[in-house]
Structure 1
Amino acid sequence: MSATAWLSKTLSSGKVLCQACAQSCKLDEGEYGICGVRKVVDGELKLLVYGLASVVNIDPVEKKPMFNFLPGSRAFSFGTVGCNFSCKFCQNFDISQYPKEHNHQVFGKEFPPERIVELALESGCGSIAYTYNEPIVFFEYTYDTAKLAHEKGLKNIYVTSGFETHKALDLLAPYIDGMNIDIKGFTEEFYKDICGARLKPVLECVKYAHEKGIWVEITTLLIPGKNDSDEEIRGIAKFIAELDPSIPWHLSAFYPMYKMLDVPPTPGSTLLRAYEIGKEEGLKYIYVGNIDDEEHESTYCPQCGERVIDRTGHIGQYVTNELDENGICPHCGYALEGVWH
């Protein structure tokens, strides 16, 4: 399916500027954006995957990962094909990079926004998550779905690499309740060489989403020898803490994937070192992922230190939440930051 990619404008040169993400592609007739799913046709930018979902699942919200957001609930999750990044470690490269590696072909099953919302409600989900590939590349599809979901009382989650423009965030903010944003590293070199992107727009996106009142959680995949130095880890922790120490930080282990099969998996000791650095910088909520570690996957009250959300088994499999619907700690009365109802 194809639809007008209306988050765009025609320039005086005749090129069409895509305004969805910070790649800011300026395209001539017949050209595709870096994402591979936005193309100029008859002078108008088209989204080639509108209503075409490549993956649809019902997941624990903890898999997004969102830990201070409706814990124990389910998220109706879907994505398309295409991505504005080209991460060499992508675990979903078979959909994210598909158009670029298959002569701009796309695929997916028809799931218009109305059907997505209908299925989410029927299955008892508390939210819809735009995930698996980068949601900003199918912005108009996510926007229409999120607006409808919001009207029906569902929450919306963007799982993203954080290249949204301010214009896109202005439009999304009334309907998007939560974002999990990757800070993939803390050097421009890492972003350029490994991700095909830039660091600065990501940090600006994190700040702006937070400023707009969207609940933000951050994820960093630590890759041995690439972004796991104490200096980089502390840089990310300090950035988050200076913005808001209550923003949760998810530390994930890397496993050999896609174009980085020669890099070893992340040792658990690296994640625990990063966890301690985050604590030293004053972060209230730090979580370790991609390894079984009940102690560091659970949520602790920042005031009294008691474990108030217990997570055991595979992520999202067993969640015991002691907080009330307003996120109040039963031990000391502290109001934990997050989205609880």
Structure 2
Amino acid sequence: MKDIEGRAAAQDFSGEEPRDLGADHAVCSICPHACALAEGQTGLCRARVAEGGQVVDANYGRITSLALDPIEKKPLARFRPGSKVLSVGSYGCNLRCPFCQNASIACAGERDVPWREIAPAELVDAAASLVTEGNIGLAFTYNEPLVGLEFVRGTARLAHERGLVNVLVSNGYVNDGPLHEVAPFIDAANIDLKGFTQSFYDLVGGDLATVKHTIEVLAATPSCHLEVTTLVIPGLNDSDQEIAEAAQWLASLD
């Protein structure tokens, strides 16, 4: 496994979806896309690269956005209201929502957006220095955090050691193994349930069942406060039936 304090340099994948071309390809384990990559190739998310026979996070420590935000902006309505959180984002995402509000970084690769390197310990130090200004910890947000799982996991562990909380804002499109790796370090999460039909997830390039599983796992994690957001788009995911079914399912979890 790649050391969590290291990162790899990525190359563009020319926008093509990776295909399994044989045993010389490494398969990414982060999400159901299971990108099969030759050495140096970058996955669909544009954040993970094949290096040394494994797929690692090329965006490790590459920060595109850093801001002290109100917790309600994540959005979290019922977790430490009135507090602030140091929000951090990189580049890359494993979905392709045509309505993305952060497309300039979420759909970007390493050459498409300015970034600077910040090590986990440095980021945690910055968060701790802002406690006097109302900061409670770190929020992994803006792009899809879990395409940089190694960075999130390592940084979140250090944040807990300093008594800080960790917030995850994610599309929930992640495999069960990586989800369970990071869940113990997450104190609050907001998962984007983009719609409640597979046809809607076909539009954005994902899978409803996977996102539902993520929500179920986090809802059952005692140490994690969970909220769910749906961006309602007229004509796409706003039917009375779909909204009612989503609400009924969420209510059934807890």
TM-score, normalization: structure 1? 0.65
Matched, 1:120 2:130: no
Q: How many pairs does the alignment contain?
A: 235
Partner Cα separation in structure 1 for residue 181 and residue 144 of structure 2: 17
CA drift of 1:17 comes to 2.0
Partner Cα separation in structure 2 for residue 109 and residue 46 of structure 1: 19
Contact 1:77 1:130 in 2 (8 A): yes
Q: Which residue is 2:94 aligned to?
A: 84
Matched, 1:205 2:214: yes
Contact 1:48 1:106 in 2 (8 A): no
Q: Which amino acid aligns with 1:93?
A: A
Find the residue that maps to 1:157 and give its secondary structure.
strand
Q: Which amino acid aligns with 1:151?
A: E
1:221-260, aligned counterparts within 5 Å? Answer: 221-244=231-254
Partner Cα separation in structure 2 for residue 189 and residue 2 of structure 1: 39
Partner Cα separation in structure 1 for residue 54 and residue 181 of structure 2: 20
Q: Which region of structure 1 is more displaced relative to structure 2, 226-235 or 166-175?
A: 166-175
Contact 1:2 1:47 in 2 (8 A): no
Find the residue that maps to 1:98 and give its secondary structure.
coil
Structure 1: which 5+ runs fail to align? 6-11, 245-341
Contact 2:105 2:113 in 1 (8 A): no
1:88-107, aligned counterparts within 5 Å? Answer: 88-99=98-109, 107=114
Contact 1:2 1:48 in 2 (8 A): no
Contact 1:18 1:24 in 2 (8 A): yes
Highest RCO, 1 vs 2 (Cα 8 Å, sep ≥ 6): 2
Q: Which residue is 1:190 aligned to?
A: 200
Partner Cα separation in structure 1 for residue 231 and residue 250 of structure 2: 15
Partner Cα separation in structure 2 for residue 22 and residue 212 of structure 1: 22
Contact 1:81 1:107 in 2 (8 A): no
Partner Cα separation in structure 1 for residue 169 and residue 87 of structure 2: 10
CA drift of 1:28 comes to 2.3
Find the residue that maps to 2:231 and give its secondary structure.
strand
Partner Cα separation in structure 2 for residue 172 and residue 44 of structure 1: 19
Q: Which residue is 2:40 aligned to?
A: 30
Contact 1:182 1:218 in 2 (8 A): yes
Partner Cα separation in structure 2 for residue 227 and residue 68 of structure 1: 25
Q: What RMSD in Å do the two structures reach over aligned CA positions?
A: 2.1
Contact 2:106 2:143 in 1 (8 A): yes
- Equivalent residue for 1:148, pick from 158, 165, 172: 158
Q: Which amino acid aligns with 1:37?
A: A
Q: Which residue is 1:39 aligned to?
A: 49
Partner Cα separation in structure 2 for residue 56 and residue 201 of structure 1: 29
Q: Which residue is 2:19 aligned to?
A: none
Q: Which amino acid aligns with 1:172?
A: V
Partner Cα separation in structure 2 for residue 13 and residue 227 of structure 1: 40
CA drift of 1:105 comes to 5.1
Partner Cα separation in structure 2 for residue 141 and residue 227 of structure 1: 33
Q: Which residue is 1:63 aligned to?
A: 73
Partner Cα separation in structure 1 for residue 183 and residue 56 of structure 2: 23
Q: Which amino acid aligns with 1:209?
A: L
Partner Cα separation in structure 2 for residue 91 and residue 80 of structure 1: 15
Partner Cα separation in structure 2 for residue 89 and residue 174 of structure 1: 31
CA drift of 1:2 comes to 6.1
CA drift of 1:3 comes to 1.4
- Equivalent residue for 2:7, pick from 3, 17, 25: 3
Q: Which residue is 2:12 aligned to?
A: none
Contact 2:64 2:113 in 1 (8 A): no
Q: Which amino acid aligns with 1:203?
A: K
Q: Which residue is 1:220 aligned to?
A: 230
The structure-2 alpha-carbon separation of the partners of 1:137 and 1:106, relative to structure 1 and needing over 3 Å to count, comes to farther
Bigger Rg, structure 1 or 2: 1
Contact 2:71 2:84 in 1 (8 A): yes
- Equivalent residue for 2:169, pick from 136, 141, 159: 159
Contact 2:104 2:113 in 1 (8 A): no
